[in-house]
Amino acid sequence: MEPAVRTLQPVRGTRDILPAEMRRHRAVAQTARRVAAQYGYAEMATPVFEFTDVFKRTLGEHSDVVMKEMYTFPVSEEGDTVTLRPEGTAGFARAYITNGLQQNLPLKAFYTGPMFRHERPQKGRLRQFHQVGVELLGPGRPVADVEIIAMGQQLLTELGLGGSIALELNTLGDLESRKAYRAALVEYFEAHTDRLSEDSRHRLHRNPLRILDSKDEGDQAVVADAPAFGDYLNQHSRDFFGEVCEGLDALGIDYRLNPRLVRGLDYYCHTCFEFTTTALGAQGTVLAGGRYDDLIETMGGPATPGTGWAAGIERLAMLMDRDTTPTRPIAVVPAGAEAETSALRLTQDLRRQGFTVDMGYSGNMKKRLKRANNAGACAAVILGGDELAANIATVRDLDTGEQETVALDRVAAYLTSYQPG
């Protein structure tokens, strides 16, 4: 007895993006690309996999992403491994160093593409997901952070999400401030280790700031009385953050200060921010970023200030409430075999002139017109033997049913009114 053939399914945590959803994905990416270009950002791309050290250096060997979530594969007998990128900034930073882009500062880059993390799939979170992101290298002043945040807000507004998104803002201070705060946190949490979750006990000496955003209820109870970062900020850090807030105020961008908003990696500093929503349940962050002045140096490059953000395309697409219907095509309908070749030529001619065109491949006139309606066509160009003999075509408006005869060399001009925009 032959074994049963297993039904093929997509890998858990991945999904097919079918045409209707793909239109929303494309709308997100195209809007982000356009907004980024308005701010002077040029698009670039990095490989979807890098040597694993690229992510270990940037994300930290003991981070959750490196320890639990990366897809890593051996590529040589010497033990070299590559990793599917879990985020975009590390590859961008590596590209900046290896391509000698230090002479291009300030460097403004936009990117979009798939990322990969091995984590429990849930609403708005997949193992293969897609992001848009921007990175700005060179300027170390607060105004750069203000511009980055303003760009994120403009993207969300142009996607129609402005009314459902809130901006949360915090400062991580400079290195001196973070060292002082880190020491205070460790001292505080050491006095409450019996109340911390296992994950937080592991983070206590490696990455204590990450305990602040733990979702564990027991951790949250301990965090409620933890020292406040604001008490450990030196004057430089206070002044930097004050200028960021003043810049956002000047632009009329509303924000909510969230002292528990953190980034656990040492190269992050000063401004960090998240645009959040309650429409996606627990996974409420749709766009997040911050300043990372020490990242390039951590990776072996020259000290270079940097700031940026990334946004999940899947999450933004789920929130979109605008029409993303496809362009309605023109249907070319040959009536009879003698018209097939002429219809094919007309179809190609119209496409070269910018029209979206469908042609019925088979069936009688009634069936072809029915398929044209099902495809959402706005008009049908009907070619039969009589029309060809008279060098004309019949153009039928598929919404009103009205039709006219048009000279073949005037069909494109006549159909101009059916083009969008």
| DSSP at 418 | G
Asked if residue 287 is part of any domain, the answer here is: yes
Asked if residue 63 is part of any domain, the answer here is: yes
Average pLDDT over residues 358-364: 75
For residue 308, the cross-strand partners are 135, 290
In a shared domain, residues 293 and 336: no
In a shared domain, residues 62 and 136: yes
Q: Which CATH number is 115's domain given?
A: 3.30.930.10
Average pLDDT over residues 222-250: 92
Q: Which CATH number is 363's domain given?
A: 3.40.50.800
With residue 311 as reference, give the H or E element that holds it. Answer: strand 306-312
The pLDDT tens digits for 76-126 are 888 899 999 999 999 999 999 999 999 999 999 999 999 999 877 766 678
Check: CB of residue 133 under 8 Å from CB of residue 113: no
54-82 core/surface letters (b: 16 or more CB in 10 A; e: else): bbbbbbbeebbbbeebbeeeeeeeeeeeb
Strands 256-257 and 128-137: unpaired
pLDDT above 60: residue 282: no
Residue 371, domain extent:
330-418
pLDDT interval class at 64 (50, 70, 90): low
pLDDT interval class at 56 (50, 70, 90): confident
Q: Determine how many CB atoms are found less than 10 A away from the CB of residue 400.
A: 8
Alpha carbon distance 295, 301 (integer Å): 9
pLDDT interval class at 147 (50, 70, 90): very high
Report the pLDDT value the prediction gives residue 322, as an integer from 0 to 100: 61
Q: What total of structural domains would you count in the chain?
A: 2
Residue given tokens 């930097």 in the structure block: 240
Which carries the bigger pLDDT value, residue 48 or residue 3? Answer: 48
pLDDT above 90: residue 324: no
Domain boundary among 290, 319, 348: 319
Give the DSSP letter string of 142-206: HHHHHHHHHHHHHHHHHTT-GGG-EEEEEE---HHHHHHHHHHHHHHHHTTGGGS-HHHHHHTTT
The pLDDT tens digits for 159-175 are 988 778 999 999 999 98
Q: Determine how many CB atoms are found less than 10 A away from the CB of residue 217.
A: 8
In a shared domain, residues 119 and 267: yes
Which carries the bigger pLDDT value, residue 285 or residue 64? Answer: 285
The pLDDT tens digits for 18-43 are 988 899 999 999 999 999 999 999 99
Tokens of 139: 């300027």
**Helix, strand or coil, per DSSP, at residue 318:** helix
pLDDT above 60: residue 62: no
Asked if residue 263 is part of any domain, the answer here is: yes
Give the DSSP letter string of 77-114: TT--EEEE-S-SHHHHHHHHHHTTGGGG-SEEEEEEEE
Residue given tokens 């005037």 in the structure block: 410
Could you tell me the CA-to-CA distances from 20 to 17, 27, 379, 421 in Å, in that order? 8, 11, 22, 21
pLDDT above 70: residue 190: yes
Computed over every residue of the chain, the mean pLDDT equals: 88
